[in-house]
Structure 1
Amino acid sequence: MSDKKSKLASGSIIILLGSIILRLGGFIYRFILSRLLSTTGYGIVGLTLPFQNALITAASGGVPPAIAKYVAEYNAIDEEQMVHQIIVTSMKLMIFMAFIAATVMLIISEPVAIGMWNKPEVLMPLRLVALIVPFSVIVGALRGVFQGYYNMLDLFYSKFLEQIFTLMFAVILVLVGWYASGAVLGTALGFLMALVGSYYLYKRDIRDKFITNEFNKIPVREELKILVKLFKFAIPVVITGIAEIFIYDTGTFFIGMFQPIMLAGFYTNASAMSRIPLILANSVSTSILPAASEADSLKDKELLTMYIHQSYRYTAVTTLPVCAIIMVYATPIMTLFFGADYAPGAEALWILVTGMFFFSIYLITSSMCQGLGKPQIPMYTLIVGSIVNIVASFLLIPDYGISGAAVATTIATFVLMILTIVKLTQLSEVHLPYKDLGKIVLAYFIMVVVLWLFPINIIGLILGSIVGLIVYLLLVLAFKALKKDDVVFIEHLVDKTGPLKKYLTPVVSFIYKHAG
Structure 2
Amino acid sequence: MNRSIASGILSVVSAKVVVLVVTAVSTPLLYRFLGASGYGDYAFLLSVFAIYMIFVSSGITDGVRKYLAEDRSVPHWEAYVAGFYLRLAIWLAAVGTLVMVAAAEFGYVALAFGDGLASYFYVLAILVVTAQFRDFARKTLMGFGLERYSEPLKILDKVGFVAVAIPLVYAGFGVTGALLGHIVASALVAVVGLALVHRRISLVSVFSHPSTGFPRKRMLTFNSMSIVLVLLLMSLYHVDILMLQQFRESAEVGNYRAALQLAEFLWFVPLALQTVFVHSTSELWSRGRTRKITELASRTTRYAFLLTAVMAVGLAALADVAVPLYFGPEAEPAIEPLLLLLPGALGFALARPILAVSQGNGTLRYPVVATGVAAGINVVLNALLIPSYGMRGAAVATSVGYGSMFVLHCWSARLVGFDPLADARLARTVLTTALSAVPIVALAAAIENPWLALTVVPPVGLALFVTVALLVGALDPTEPLEVLAAFPDPVGSAAAGLQARLEGVGGTASGNWLQILLFVAGLVLLVAGLVVGLLGIDAGTVLA
Same fold (TM over 0.5): yes
Q: Which amino acid aligns with 1:452?
A: V
1:357 corresponds to which residue?
A: 346
Distance 2:383 2:107 in 1: 20
CA shift, 1:220, in A, is 7.3
Equivalence for 2:201: 207
Look up the equivalent residue of 2:406 and give its one-letter code. Answer: M
For the structure 1 residues 219 and 408, does the alpha-carbon distance in structure 2 shift closer, same or farther, using more than 3 Å as the test? same
Instruction: Quote the offset at 1:427 in angstroms.
Output: 2.1
Q: Tell whether 2:386 aligns with 1:391.
A: no
Q: 1:16: Cα distance to partner?
A: 1.1
Q: Which amino acid aligns with 1:176?
A: A
Instruction: Indicate conservation of the 8 Å contact 2:432/2:474, yes or no.
Output: no
Read off the aligned partner of 2:111 and give its amino acid letter. G
Q: Which amino acid aligns with 1:115?
A: L
Q: What does 1:108-507 correspond to in 2, within 5 Å?
A: 108-109=103-104, 114-118=110-114, 120-204=115-199, 206-207=200-201, 219=209, 222=212, 226-430=215-419, 432-433=421-422, 436-456=425-445, 457-483=450-476, 484-490=478-484
Please give the alpha-carbon distance, in whole angstroms, between the structure 2 residues aligned to 1:147 and 1:169. Answer: 27
**Comparing 104-113 and 279-288, the one that deviates more:** 104-113
Q: CA deviation at 1:495?
A: 6.3
Match of 2:382, as an amino acid?
Answer: S
- Structure 1 counterpart of 2:519: 510
For residues 174-225 of structure 1, give each alpha carbon's deviation from its aligned partner in whole angstroms, at most 9, with x where no partner exists: 2333211111121112111111121222234x238xx9xx9896557749x5
Closer, same or farther in 2 for the Cα pair 1:22/1:142, shift >3 Å?
same
Question: 1: distance between equivalents of 2:329 and 2:27?
Answer: 14
Q: State the distance in 2 between where 1:159 and 1:513 align.
A: 29
- Do the aligned residues in 1 keep the contact of 2:157 with 2:185 (CA within 8 Å)? yes
Q: Deviations over 1:127-149 (max 9, x none)?
A: 32221111111221222222222
**1:50 corresponds to 2:47:** yes
Are residue 29 (structure 1) and residue 26 (structure 2) matched?
yes
2:69 matches 1:72: yes
Matched-pair contact (CA < 8 Å) for 1:254–1:397: yes
SS in 1 for 2:344: helix
Preserved CA contact (<8 Å) 1:105 1:130: yes
CA distance in 2, matches of 1:162, 1:372: 30
Residues 123 and 180 in structure 2, CA contact (< 8 A), matched pair in contact too = yes
Residue 22 of structure 1: CA displacement? 1.0
Tell me the SS of whatever aligns to 2:408.
helix
Give aligned pairs, total: 499
With over 3 angstroms needed to count, the CA separation of the structure-2 counterparts of 1:230 and 1:477, relative to structure 1, is: same
For residues 30 and 200 of structure 1, what CA distance do their matches in structure 2 show?
30
Q: Retained in 2: the 8 A contact 1:99–1:134? A: yes
1:19 Cα deviation from its structure 2 partner = 0.8
The answer (yes or no) to whether the contact 1:333–1:458 under 8 Å persists in 2 is no
Equivalent residues of 1:355, 1:414 under 8 A apart = yes
Deviates further, 258-267 or 312-321: 312-321
Cα shift at 1:72: 0.8
State how far apart, in whole Å, the 2-side matches of 1:394 and 1:345 are: 20
Relative to 1, partners in 2 of residues 1:217 and 1:361: Cα closer, same or farther, differing over 3 Å?
Answer: same
> Using a 3 Å threshold, how does the CA distance of structure 1 residues 207 and 220 change in structure 2: closer, same or farther?
closer
Relative to structure 2, which stretch is displaced further, 437-446 or 489-498? 489-498
CA contact (8 A) 1:86 1:226 kept: no
- Is residue 94 from structure 1 mapped to residue 89 from structure 2 by the alignment? yes
State how far apart, in whole Å, the 2-side matches of 1:238 and 1:407 are.
Answer: 27
What secondary structure sits across from 1:203 in the alignment? helix
Structure 2 residue matching 1:482: 3-state secondary structure:
coil
Deviation at 1:28, TM superposition (A): 2.4
Post-superposition shift, 1:438?
A: 2.2
CA contact (8 A) 1:323 1:357 kept: yes
Q: Provide the rounded CA distance (Å) in 2 between the counterparts of 1:350 and 1:140.
A: 33
Is the partner of 2:362 in helix, strand or coil? coil
Q: Deviations over 1:34-89 (max 9, x none)?
A: 1222221111111111112112222114221211111110xx34546011110011
| CA separation of 1:489 and 1:125: change in aligned 2, threshold 3 A | farther
Deviates more, 1:424-433 or 1:109-118: 109-118
Task: Please give the alpha-carbon distance, in whole angstroms, between the structure 2 residues aligned to 1:386 and 1:496.
Answer: 45
Separation of aligned partners in 2, 1:415 and 1:177: 42
Measure the CA separation in 1 of the matches of 2:372 and 2:107.
Answer: 25
Distance 2:152 2:243 in 1: 35
Q: Which amino acid aligns with 1:135?
A: T
| Whole-angstrom distance in 2 between the partners of 1:497 and 1:153 | 18
Call closer, same or farther: CA 1:310–1:425 in 2, change over 3 Å: same
The CA distance in 1 between the partners of 2:76 and 2:155, in whole Å, is 30
**Whole-angstrom distance in 1 between the partners of 2:207 and 2:98:** 31
CA displacement, residues 291-325 of structure 1 (integer Å, 9 cap, x when unaligned): 22222111123322222123212211211111111
Give the 3-state SS of the residue equivalent to 2:475 in structure 1: coil
Give yes or no for contact 2:87–2:206 (8 Å, CA) kept in 1: no
Match of 1:20 in 2: 17
Q: Is the CA contact 2:165–2:177 (under 8 Å) kept in the aligned structure 1? A: yes
- Could you tell me which runs of 5 or more consecutive residues in structure 1 were left unpaired when the two chains were aligned: none
Q: Distance in 2 between matches of 1:132 and 1:507?
A: 52
- Distance in 1, matches of 2:379 and 2:178, equals 28
Shift in Å, 1:116: 4.2
Q: Distance in 1 between matches of 2:33 and 2:75?
A: 50
Shift of the alpha carbon at 1:414?
2.2
CA deviation string 1:323-369 (max 9, x = no partner):
11112222322222211211211111111122111111221111111
Question: 1:350, 1:493 → 2: CA distance?
Answer: 35
CA contact (8 A) 1:132 1:187 kept: yes
Relative to the length of structure 2, the TM-score reads 0.84
The answer for the alignment partner of 2:528 in structure 1 is none
Deviation, structure 1 residue 387: 1.9
CA distance in 2, matches of 1:45, 1:167: 15
**Structure 2, unaligned stretches of length 5 or more?**
500-514, 524-544
- Supply the distance in 2 between the matched residues of 1:487 and 1:169 (Cα, whole angstroms): 42
Report deviation, 1:108: 4.2
TM-aligned CA distance change 1:268 to 1:496, over 3 Å: farther
Q: Which amino acid aligns with 2:186?
A: F
TM-score (norm 1): 0.89
Q: Distance in 1 between matches of 2:462 and 2:290?
A: 35
Deviates more, 1:297-306 or 1:359-368: 297-306
RMSD: 3.0
